[in-house]
Amino acid sequence: MKVVVIQETSLQIDNIAAEITEHWKALEQIPEVTELIIQTPDHYPWGEELHEMIGDADILFGVWISSSCINAEFLSKHPNLKYIATLGHGWEEFDVAMTREKGITITNTIYGSQTIAEYAWSLLMEVCHHTTAHAEYLKSVDWTKPNDGDSAFIKLVTPQIELYNQTIGIVGLGSIGFALAKMAQGFGMKVISYSRNKKVGAEYDFIDQVSFDELLERSDVISLHAPFSASSANMINKDTIAKMKNGVILINTARGGLIVEEDLYDALLSGKIYGAGLDVIREEPPKSNIPLFECKNAIITGHIAWLTRASRLRACDMAIDNFKAYLSGTPVSVIN
């Protein structure tokens, strides 16, 4: 089997590109692999560039799953493909039936559950405590000059919010949402959740699984972890926001398309939503300064929740393990 890996540029400050490449070379130890090509473009390839990189591969790692890539026309140029692995959790909608007819197995790589959940929690902590703002204030004072003593030192720049005994509503109880649920439980929060399919098992007993409307009405904090699809697009809008508690906190580390940003902007200005922590926006990168950037009660970062050294290396290892499971006849993480 000819294997092609699309290894995107390492975005870590501590560049680990060479280390990632070494992890991929473990594929050479699999007997069925007769040729391994690791493509290292300086940007994600599209169109003809992607076609050239894939060539006559049997196995493909690292492609983004979307209807623009996983369609009959695209796949007709690569008739040898039998197995495709995206290195991320998420994917866009594509023609599942067509891929089955072609006998192609497509998998995702659930590498970042803990990393992304931790980042979602850090956004929530920042909304509640604004530790950065307080640290910057303390450093800004010239303590060699007369000041107000204790009142200058023990000073709140922003209100402090305690989460103990409050209710967090988790939308999407997949691996990331479940990891966040356990963190929230550890902080003494009441955990409720909404998912398209109810989760079954003793490990979920501490979570009250409810309807979407009930989650909106009961939650003090709402954290989004749902996949983006036609049914989930714009799920946070002026109508659903109206059902939320006054002063709710909203966290989104999933996809920007889950939120109507104009409606979130209005809710942040009015105080209906106390604060938002967003690692994703609708257009990435943005082509203009979106109104949400003007909101002091919105913390926005650039889709970096997944971007730790540990998670990048784990993604390679898990993708290889998933491929071995496929070769053994017991495929896992299949999304088609």
Residues belonging to the active site: 255, 284, 303
Strands (E) across the chain are located at 2-6, 35-39, 59-61, 83-85, 105-107, 167-171, 190-194, 207-209, 221-224, 248-252, 273-278, 298-300
CA 68 to chain centre: 21
Q: What is the per-residue DSSP string for 12-55?
A: SSS--HHHHHHHHGGGGGSTT--EEEEE--SS---HHHHHHHHT
Which class for 312: exposed (0-12), middle (13-18), buried (19 or more C-beta within 10 A)? buried
Q: Is 229 helix (H, G, I), strand (E, B) or coil?
A: coil
CB-CB contact of 215 with 192 (8 Å): yes
Residue 308, token pair as written in the block: 């730790």
